[in-house]
Amino acid sequence: MNNKSNSDALITEYFNDYLKPNVIAVALTGSAGRGDRDEYSDIDAVVFIESEDKKGLIEGKVDYKNLIFDIRISSIISLQEMEWSEDMYFAYLNSRIIYSRDNQISNLVGEKRAEWKEKSRSYAILSLVNLSVIFDFNGWHGLNAHSHYHKAISRGDTTSAHWILGNGLDLILKTVYLLAYNPPPDQKNRIKLLDRFSILTQKNLLTFIADALLVKNLEPAETARRYEALMCIIEFIKQSVDSSSEEWPKDFYKFYIENRE
């Protein structure tokens, strides 16, 4: 039996012993749910119960036969009633459900998958509006702001300019996931999962990200170099929207104003 088969068997063994009458479902999240777990990964899992009674259930970090489980216990009622965050969509839409009494969790995840599809385009437009206050979109889809980056450069504040570009890179990463209709991963996984869940699959574009991450000094020429690297990805994003079969609003900023909560 190979290491993966062995660890999968241990996961099944652990949760077979773990199940109690008030347990509704068990979902593997994180890398265990996505299928990209390695020897450095914990086994992240959420155990759903009928009530708030956690009696007899272990929560937190557990070492079981050299596998580290990180278990969270949640009420199924709260999951059904609460407004899901982007992190929750990412965790649960990419989870692996290993136990689901009456298919309650399986059905809920299916409903939320359809819900996310409806929301993702609006979230993508919001991200593009936020990007337009950092990068120059030249009026593309109504995005024509005097960017904070250019204001910092005009003031001679290159330290702030670098900080703004760092925030801009994070927004770019969120956007390329949203344009692929996938919830953005948590920050520690946004680079790691680009090839799998985002529109960025071209190696040269990943090279631009590497260039943008590098800060050699605080000179104006260095901020300009990073800005140009990130603008290459912005241009790719614009081309992806323009070539999409989806019908996008002509004016993203107007759409944002009309649809903001």
Residue 206 · residue 200 · CB < 8 Å: yes
The per-residue pLDDT for range 11-23, each reduced to its tens digit, is: 888 888 777 778 8
Q: For residues 26 and 23, what is the distance between their CA atoms, to the nearest angstrom?
A: 8
Token reading at 189: 């996984």
Residue 57 · residue 47 · CB < 8 Å: yes
Q: For residues 140 and 121, what is the distance between their CA atoms, to the nearest angstrom?
A: 17
Where do the domains of the chain lie, and which CATH numbers do they carry? 3-82 (3.30.460.10), 115-259 (1.20.120)
pLDDT computed for residue 1 by the predictor: 42
Per-10-residue mean pLDDT of the chain, 261 residues long, equals 72 83 89 89 90 78 91 88 92 92 89 92 94 94 91 94 95 95 92 90 83 90 94 94 92 89 62
Helix locations, the chain, DSSP H: 3-18, 30-34, 76-81, 86-93, 104-131, 148-154, 158-178, 194-197, 203-213, 220-242, 252-259
Residue 135 · residue 153 · CB < 8 Å: no
Cβ burial 199-233 (10 Å sphere, 16+ → b, else e): bbeeeebeebbeebeeeeeeeeebbebbbebbbeb
Q: What angle do CA 189, 212, 229 make, to 5 degrees?
A: 125
